[in-house]
Structure 1
């Protein structure tokens, strides 16, 4: 594809910001928009092309801003509309793009639309949300319309005493689902949540739960996968419904007017053909999507946290990498590469090694090499670039703030009558996988509160105990730090777009349990990426992979030895000239 017709996002790295935890500018313990503005020079120094801002809209914050009460206002603790407009301008002055989070499967129950909808069955906005009458069991007891389980545990339906019906909430009770079947609802969403901000000059959206707008119209019961609980996982009934592409194509027409890019959150869509139906260029729906194959590794199928730490194998990780990379093979679709976001635990705590400072740093760099060598648009989450880790296991469960974590622990406590073994298992799962880990405040320096907030302030969430050793300032001064490595890695990736962002992925040994060696094939060059995922030395035959073509190491995370052995958590990325090229 000629350079002049290649969209900017096809060789881009996008930096995700969680406003509450990034930088507090006024000492109230909550991150804010002026705080983000104050760190734009730092963000630009990483070598990224854009920022993605998690929701900063007005919200009662039951789900950290993903419960929006007004799309056209800013959450007051984060700042003002003028602050957001200043951030947009400052990004553009630096050559950075800015994306906002588009949350339109549901609103807050405090949104004016829902207040009208629940006021009476005769209200004109009654049909803007999904309301259903109750069912009754054999004993005449009132029951929800079906057995769907909310993502945040319990029934996905909430009884409304005033109008004597249930409303659907796939997430928290405070997040009622919008009814996309209603054209007036869709038009209001497009105007209030999309065009209002596009007119202000933003460059696109991360689209929350993009495949949930169209539900199975029968609203039938889900298959019982876990007979020990009443409410069942039902994503096959509310994801990728019959009208979903009609709706996303409508959105695409609006986005096209502003030349805006989109990245959709696309869970529960395992088939490549189904993913491609959203991101094929000819379909004009979404620029790309997040597939969750990699980050869902280790989750339980029926209940996310019904698992144990490090419940994965390297062949399983390889298979999931391969499934996401093959989306671009011979198609007009585009992919994404990421290991972290606001909904995931820290990658180095999941797939790396935190036993010693040396192996922590080396494995954080190894994971940077893995994700930055994959095809598609690269996403980096705040703190990932300094190797931030999960909260200490010694912290009590009371330190967890996320609604999903709180609800899961409460569910286990109530369903097992405070069984200590079950509660210990639940806590270990949260220690390893909870969303809270990504939301700990950013660690800027070794001063009080890690430099996130002023001395004397009480951060909304506890700062990690290791902030004096693990922070931006300390790593900025160290040329061998994780931060310095990420900056170099992003420069290397940008310099070779044909093999990094656009190359064809080849897994060379899918069953090896310790080494992940893969190739990326471009028109004139190829990459050989060799990664040791263990704390032991591993034999490897890199001579065979490199062949007889000229080659060099582009980047490595320690002093490289022979072509026949990798040190613990060692990684290397070679570039090889194709013979005859």
Structure 2
């Protein structure tokens, strides 16, 4: 492996700073709190920490609305704190990756304040401004809808024109067609790299190139929604912009940095282009196909994911990027509900085993695994009682609009409990003291009441915990070349509860077996070459050692065999 491909053997840990560790008792996590927990991350063995936004922000979308890219919100600390975090993380062999949010800014960013001040302001064209349609221009320029519900256009009464916001109305979209915008972004990125940051996770980066005609969109099939994604996802100049970014920001730097593109709506074929090293765009993508399974006409219409569909999706990405390109591997993040509640079982009798199983399956795929804070503990969704318990703007907006449209409030609440981003944003559960050891004050978001049982202190003390299973998985990725570099072959794709595959590399063969159910699973008719695998070595299991490597799988059991 060349030095510029180090990320293939790495594991990334995502921190949502607001919910990770509070150091000053104000109820909100901060950078000094992250520094306090670096020894924990070192013990887990992760190679990279990705920080969700900590920049100056009005916090309309919990920091993804940035008012100053080159300063830290006082809620989280100071630039000096960030410098200290970088230094202390590097001393432990941990790289720091920042969130890059440049599809949009906050409406309180000085760029937008200038842009909206008048039609002839020099920064007017830094954002997407258009006159309205219809009588007296009071209708939006097109029919696109915001991802956070409602129109994607907001009328500015002072200038009489609309600005585009694919997310909150307080998150106006930057106009990447303007070269001044692009150079301002690149200069900011270089500034952070010069401070010692090791790369960027790029938020919705495949939305930065829009169809400049801004045409009306057709309704989403099977839904009344009109997002307009065909006109701003993977737009006409996206590859040009990313190559220009790479040349302006990353080329010539002495050490290979990490670039990760979050790309809703990206296909396998798109990802090959984005991540082909010869094209100099990004190292890997975040795609959403597998976390979109089990969702009906809209995000809040959810059902249990069929394992066969999950295997088909993940297997397609393994095959599609086998020769060229690279993928990110994840079950959950700050935008997704807790993995063990969605793909595993959070029932008390199965939670630990299924959390370990999910880690085993994910980390043994080809790609770079991401661990979201608390995943390594088997943290679960939160039992929200009422609509008032939800804080995330996406959830709050959906509830208000759905109820106003005549929806059943209890049904809407049930959907929110399953899918809300708030599930991932409850405080990290450090110990069984008040507020789970997250803060000495009043936490900004309610702590999951199961923290007395599920917490880091208990997990670190228990050698059979989810934490130590993840630690072993990370260690195996560092020491077993077949995991990072081996070929991938899916087995039993049509089996309803068995997830099985092999990894092969330079004469080493690994077999992964996982039972996604609460029932025992006989392997006699599912494993090819049973005699060979019966004599194999079990590198890792999530339950006590079975009678033999190919003995029936117990409920939510996973095994890693080396042939």
The equivalent of 2:315 in structure 1 is: 322
The equivalent of 2:198 in structure 1 is: 203
1:371 aligns to 2:367 (yes or no): no
- The counterpart of 1:398, out of the listed 388, 402, 416, is 388
The equivalent of 2:448 in structure 1 is: 464
1:413 aligns to 2:399 (yes or no): no
Q: Is the 8 A contact 2:10 2:477 kept in 1?
A: no
- The counterpart of 2:543, out of the listed 558, 565, 568, is 558
- The counterpart of 2:6, out of the listed 8, 29, 37, is 8
Q: 1:226 to 1:134 in 2, by over 3 A?
A: farther
- The counterpart of 1:263, out of the listed 260, 266, 276, is 260
CA separation in 2, counterparts of 1:189 and 1:141? 33
1:575 aligns to 2:562 (yes or no): yes
CA separation in 2, counterparts of 1:10 and 1:64? 31
1:303 aligns to 2:298 (yes or no): yes
CA separation in 2, counterparts of 1:479 and 1:514? 28
Q: Is the 8 A contact 1:353 1:363 kept in 2?
A: yes
Please give the secondary structure, in 2, of the residue aligned with 1:110: coil
Please give the secondary structure, in 1, of the residue aligned with 2:71: strand
Unaligned 5+ runs, structure 1: 577-581
Count of aligned pairs between the two proteins: 556
Aligned ranges 1:165-176 → 2 under 5 Å: 165-176=161-172
> What are the Cα deviations for residues 481-504 of structure 1, in whole angstroms up to 9, with x where unaligned?
11111111211222113x212222
Please give the secondary structure, in 2, of the residue aligned with 1:567: coil
> What are the Cα deviations for residues 290-326 of structure 1, in whole angstroms up to 9, with x where unaligned?
11122222223x5211x1342x211111011112212
Q: Is the 8 A contact 2:45 2:471 kept in 1?
A: yes
Q: Is the 8 A contact 1:226 1:232 kept in 2?
A: no
1:442 aligns to 2:434 (yes or no): no
CA separation in 1, counterparts of 2:4 and 2:222? 51
Shift >4 Å, 4+ stretches: 226-229
CA separation in 2, counterparts of 1:257 and 1:324? 31
CA separation in 1, counterparts of 2:400 and 2:313? 32
CA separation in 2, counterparts of 1:547 and 1:408? 55
Q: Is the 8 A contact 1:9 1:377 kept in 2?
A: yes
CA separation in 1, counterparts of 2:393 and 2:140? 22
- The counterpart of 1:280, out of the listed 268, 276, 279, is 276
The Cα of 1:564 is off from its aligned counterpart by 4.6
1:518 aligns to 2:501 (yes or no): yes
- The counterpart of 1:186, out of the listed 166, 182, 185, is 182
The equivalent of 1:345 in structure 2 is: 337
| TM-score, normalising length: structure 2 | 0.96
RMSD value, Cα? 1.6
Please give the secondary structure, in 2, of the residue aligned with 1:35: helix
Please give the secondary structure, in 2, of the residue aligned with 1:530: strand
| TM-score, normalising length: structure 1 | 0.93
The Cα of 1:4 is off from its aligned counterpart by 4.8
CA separation in 1, counterparts of 2:50 and 2:233? 24
The Cα of 1:548 is off from its aligned counterpart by 3.0
Tell me which moved more, 290-299 or 85-94. 290-299
Tell me which moved more, 475-484 or 172-181. 475-484
Please give the secondary structure, in 2, of the residue aligned with 1:572: strand
Q: Is the 8 A contact 1:309 1:432 kept in 2?
A: no
Q: 1:441 to 1:329 in 2, by over 3 A?
A: same
The equivalent of 2:210 in structure 1 is: 215
- The counterpart of 2:418, out of the listed 432, 442, 458, is 432
